[in-house]
Amino acid sequence: MDKILVLDFGGQYDMLIARRVRERGVYAEVVPFHKITAEEIASRGYTGIIFTGGPNSVYEDGAPTFSPRVLALGVPVLGICYGMQLTAHLAGGKIASAEESGEYGKVELTVEDSPLFKGVPKESVAWMSHRDYVQALPAGFKVVARTEKCPSAAMACEEKKLYGVQFHPEVTHTAFGGKMLENFLFEICGCKKDWNMESFIESAVEKYRAKCAGRKVLLALSGGVDSSVAAALMHEAVGNDLVCVFVDHGLLRKGEGDLVERTFKDKFGMNLIRVDAEDRFLAALDGVTDPESKRKIIGEEFIRVFEEQGRALGKVDFLCQGTIYPDVIESGKGDASTIKSHHNVGGLPSVIEFKEIVEPLRDLFKDEVREVGIKLGLPRELVWRQPFPGPGLAVRIIGAITKEKADLLREADAIFREEIAAAMKENAPNQFFAVLTDTRSVGVMGDARSYGHVLALRAVTTDDFMTADWTRIPFDVIEKASCRITSEVRGINRVVYDVTSKPPATVEWE
């Protein structure tokens, strides 16, 4: 299989570049520049290399750099932004800092004839974000694109297949960025389009069947996208050698536990153990109001439930986890001391003895995981599920948790989600849910005074959940949800809509 190395120099778009390449049917992997040598690049047989951007200046002390030998391997290189400046620097060119200001945002780009720009109009829009630029080209290179302020917006040494672009072809604001990446992959590197989810499934099934079949594989199923797809894939590979444990803590959304059971046990015929642990979770949470304590109690209780299951299961050979590629990249970036543990269920307890962890999705981006899930026959509502926190409704019931409150919230939340799904379809916000506040307010019902709960509705639009904007959902959707909730859910007599972005608020209320 052809593969592209995305050599990461600290840019913010490293994962996006890899995704853009994979979307075009070519496998790409991200490796931080200090985790690989030129010799390893040669021996791993990459078909092409993309140097990412980065926040530094090439002459700065400690700026990320690489051995110039990488340019002599005969493997095509495309340097993007800092990656272009570094390519020029390594090849003997000169970098300068733009005197007044750099270029930020959309600019008019003029390109020359070059394999990189085949099918790209002479003038188009590109997206820039730089102060430094290549002032003197290395020997053997020529300028192949310009902007008003940047005399070397792209450079090429066609003979050695070395290219650099000062702008960002990976972002959608660069009108023909996708075409340029395709030219690099297919015209310059000569890649074949051989990365697709059918062949991924086929080879993963073969690999894990050879490795794990006939032995016991344990997977902690949360009902989230990643663990669900990992379960479906592993089941395809080893059938009933896979045991899935699904802990229902009683704080799931309406119908969620049953959907998981129906899908995995009834439809797939999986070896699924559903542990109904509502009573013990509610007992452990009784009277607890502090958000962090709630999370801690739920985490600990999970471990206890698993310990009991572990004792019953005895020794397992493999622990299967739904780790995905962004988790792997993030872990690989940090120093060993700061690496996060990405154990999906908060780390399975030590009482479960196992020989090895297997992570069948560790090479896939989220959109690829979803595609695999659909191809394996998982229902859309599971595969396109919005994020849902591990502690579940516990962090959406403000104050002390009771079964009565959890039931009220479940009903109200289901109505809100139904109305959004019906009215907004593909344009639905990235996450939307209801929160049961611990405030009560006065209302009128018929001729009587009521004193009921205040429910908050929350919907956010976001790419990464690190920042988020509150979604301007249509007023009539809010109105319909509010009317239905106050008439169908006894005990809630007032509905408010959360109009705060993150920051300063967080997505969840607790």
Residue (of 371, 31, 359, 366) closest to 200 by Cα position: 371
The upper half-sphere exposure of residue 295, i.e. CA atoms within 13 Å in the direction of its Cβ, equals 10
- 89 as an active site residue: the answer is no
Comparison of 64 and 224: residue with beta carbon closer to ligand XMP: 224
- Judged by beta carbon, residue 128 or residue 507, the one nearer ligand XMP is 507
Residue 79: CB partners within 8 Å, gap ≥ 6? 50, 51, 85, 86, 87, 88, 163, 164, 165
Q: Is 130 a catalytic residue?
A: no
Q: What is the DSSP string of 460-481?
A: EE-SSSSSBEE----HHHHHHH
Minimum CB separation of residue 460 from ligand XMP in Å reads 8
Instruction: Supply the minimum distance, in Å, between the C-beta of residue 390 and ligand XMP.
Output: 4
Site of tokens 């015209």: 187
Q: What is the sign, positive or negative, of the torsion defined by CA atoms of 165, 169, 170, 173? A: positive
- Nearest to ligand XMP of 181, 409 (CB atom): 409
In angstroms, the first-to-last Cα distance of the chain is 46
Q: What is the largest CA-CA distance in the chain?
A: 88
Which tokens sit at 404?
């009565």
Q: Is residue 168 annotated as a catalytic residue, yes or no? A: yes
Q: What length does the chain have? A: 510
C-alpha to C-alpha distance for 308 and 114, rounded to whole angstroms: 65
Smallest distance, ligand XMP to C-beta of residue 305, A: 17
Contact 495, 482 (CB under 8 A): yes
The alpha helices in 28-111, defined as continuous H runs, are: 38-44, 82-90
Which residue number, 103 or 327, has a Cβ lying nearer to ligand XMP? 327
Question: Do the beta carbons of residue 374 and residue 351 sit within 8 Å?
Answer: no
In the complex, what is the shortest distance from the CB of residue 505 to ligand XMP, in angstroms, rounded to a whole number?
A: 8
Closest approach, Cβ 316 to ligand XMP, in A, equals 24
Based on CB atoms, which residue is closest to ligand XMP, 353 or 381? 381
Residues that bind ligand XMP (CB under 6 A): 295, 387, 389-391, 431, 465, 502, 506-508
Q: How far is Cα 315 from Cα 356, in angstroms, rounded to an integer?
A: 12
| Catalytic-role residue among 89, 103, 170, 235 | 170
Q: 402: Cβ–Cβ under 8 A, 6 or more apart, which residues?
A: 282
Nearest to ligand XMP of 251, 316 (CB atom): 251
Q: How far is the CB of 200 from ligand XMP (least distance, A)?
A: 26
CB of 17 to ligand XMP, least distance (A): 24
Of the candidates 81, 157, 189, 212, the residue annotated as catalytic is: 81
Of the pair 291, 379, the CB lying nearest ligand XMP is at 291
How far is C-alpha 89 from the chain's CA centre?
34
CA atoms within 13 A on the CB side of 365: 17
Peptide bond into 504 cis (omega under 30): yes
Write down the catalytic residue from 89, 168, 235, 342. Answer: 168
d(CA 130, CA 150): 10
Name which of 102 and 346 has its Cβ closer to ligand XMP. 346
Q: Which residues are catalytic?
A: 81, 168, 170
